[in-house]
Amino acid sequence: MLKGDIEVVDRQDGTVYSADQVVWLPDDDRMLFTGNVKAVHEDDSLTAQAGELLEADRILNLTKEVLLEAKDPPMTLRADKATWQIEEEMVLADGNLIVERYEGEGKAATVADRATAKKGSLDLGVQLITLDGSAQLVFSDPPVSMGSERLRWDLPGKLLSSDVPLTIINRENEVALSGQRGRFNITDEVLELTGGIEALANKNQSRMTADNLTWFVATQTFNAVGNVVYRQTEPQFVLHGPQAEGKLEAKTFVVTGGNVVTEITPDGDLGF
């Protein structure tokens, strides 16, 4: 057992491990770290209060106050516990996962995007984050929030996707969208949803359902295809058609193609 400001250097890749206390178990190819545990590899660092290094497998298990700090892109990851698969450049995090991406440098850096989930993973090689269990991702610009049981966040590609049901909310215009699966291009601010689409504008209580939807966040316009149904309360009417385009918040709605049906209910209930 070694105590004090202990530092261990991995000669294979230059990773530096440090802790208040280190126990080396050579027969088991293990090292146990306790207190102010830190692992630094190139531009990334992992800290925690306890850790175990499996030397043969090149795996570092960390528990208690786990924090990953990366410089490219600037981001942090926090969790109750984590496993760093060193050769695979993969970090598996479990328990109260929080990921924050920053913009700016030094003290001027601010949180641009924030994700939470029960657990997840970070592929350091391709910079891909997977969020599992009550996953939520909040962007500051555009003012969009996304929620699903599983989200994939491609950092360099600036793409967010889910192959399970998801919900998207534009916080500025109070428009909520949901579908069975979807993909959000962060750079172009274009959202594509497939299957069981529902869109609701909270301010004017207009509502639309469709099979497929492309939503342009910057202009708040959309293209909807397949079994499109649009409902609004003032004036009260329902539109049915094979495809449509418009702006839900502004009640601008054009249905085209095939058989278009309009139902007007002057004093009735549209069934919202």
**What is the pLDDT at residue 12?**
84
Neighbours of 140 (CB within 10 A): 14
**What is the pLDDT at residue 2?**
58
Per-residue pLDDT tens for 154-191?
999 999 999 999 999 999 888 999 999 999 999 999 99
Q: Is the pLDDT of residue 26 over 70?
A: yes
Q: How far apart are CA 191 and CA 139, in angstroms?
A: 14
Handedness of CA 14, 19, 23, 29 (dihedral sign): negative
Per-residue pLDDT tens for 204-213?
788 999 999 9
Q: What are phi and psi of 28, to 5 degrees?
A: -100, 0
pTM of the entire structure?
Answer: 0.88
Q: Is the pLDDT of residue 263 over 60?
A: no
Q: Which of 219, 217, 245 is nearest to 230 (CA)?
A: 245
